[in-house]
């Protein structure tokens, strides 16, 4: 990395994002990040507030989630296994969200084999499973099946789909270098 190593950090990456906007002639940054990317988005917004578009895209998330529960109840247990847990949309919502609260407090340990194992926690299920599915109703049946099995005590499928691959976390050398290099901060290191 040589002489450029000092530029591998979050503020410089945010500056690069802004340069990309300029090069494309785009006025606002449309960005949705998880894990480290959340920090990157916050850094970008702090350094370049004029280029940050405050999206309202999550404003109706609760309505879409309610729609998921409502459609599941309407479909019945033969078409939506999750509906077998409740008689109404409200009850189903309470059951699922209560379970998610428990998962936040106590992640589930999952062992598939000696190379595939780990913890399934709230963030993995919510950010890798529930939220993405809200944008794609064609995945609602699979989400309902995975949540049903998870609530019933079988976390295998949910872990394999939402948690096993650490979908939102990169653990390569470059990412670790950037994370460590973020310890050096301040205006002198932003350019």
C-beta separation of 89 from 74 below 8 A: no
Max Cα-Cα span within the chain: 64
pLDDT tens column, 45-85 = 778 776 655 555 556 788 999 999 999 999 999 999 999 99
16 occurs within a structural domain? yes
125 occurs within a structural domain? yes
Cα(78)–Cα(81) distance, integer angstroms: 6
Q: Say yes or no: 103 and 150 in one domain.
A: yes
Angle at 182 between CA 181 and CA 187, to 5 degrees: 110
Residue with the two structure tokens 């794609």: 136
C-beta separation of 111 from 117 below 8 A: yes
Other C-beta atoms closer than 10 Å to the C-beta of 155 total 23
> Which pLDDT does position 168 carry in this prediction?
42
User: How many domains does the chain fold into?
Assistant: 2
Q: Say yes or no: 154 and 65 in one domain.
A: yes
Q: Indicate the pTM of the whole model.
A: 0.60
**Domain housing 27:** 5-55
Helix pair angle (89-105, 61-75), 10° resolution: 120
155 occurs within a structural domain? yes
Q: Say yes or no: 65 and 156 in one domain.
A: yes
Taking 50 as the threshold, does the pLDDT of residue 158 lie above it? Answer: yes
């Amino acid at each position: 990395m040589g002489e450029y190593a000092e530029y591998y950090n979050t503020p410089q990456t945010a500056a690069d994002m802004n340069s990309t906007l300029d090069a494309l002639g785009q006025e606002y940054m449309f960005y949705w990040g998880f894990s480290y990317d959340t920090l990157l988005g916050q850094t970008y917004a702090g350094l370049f507030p004029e280029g940050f578009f405050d999206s309202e895209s999550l404003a109706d998330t609760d309505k879409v989630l309610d729609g998921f529960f409502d459609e599941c109840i309407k479909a019945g247990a033969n078409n939506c296994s999750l509906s077998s847990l409740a008689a109404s949309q409200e009850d189903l919502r309470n059951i699922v969200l209560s379970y998610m609260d428990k998962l936040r407090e106590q992640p589930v340990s999952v062992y598939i084999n000696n190379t595939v194992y780990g913890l399934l926690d709230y963030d993995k299920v919510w950010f890798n499973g529930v939220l993405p599915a809200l944008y794609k109703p064609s995945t609602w049946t699979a989400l309902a099946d995975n949540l049903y099995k998870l609530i019933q005590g079988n976390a295998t499928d949910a872990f394999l789909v939402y948690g096993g691959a650490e979908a939102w976390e990169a653990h390569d050398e470059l990412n670790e270098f950037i994370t460590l290099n973020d310890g050096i901060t301040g205006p002198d290191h932003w350019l």
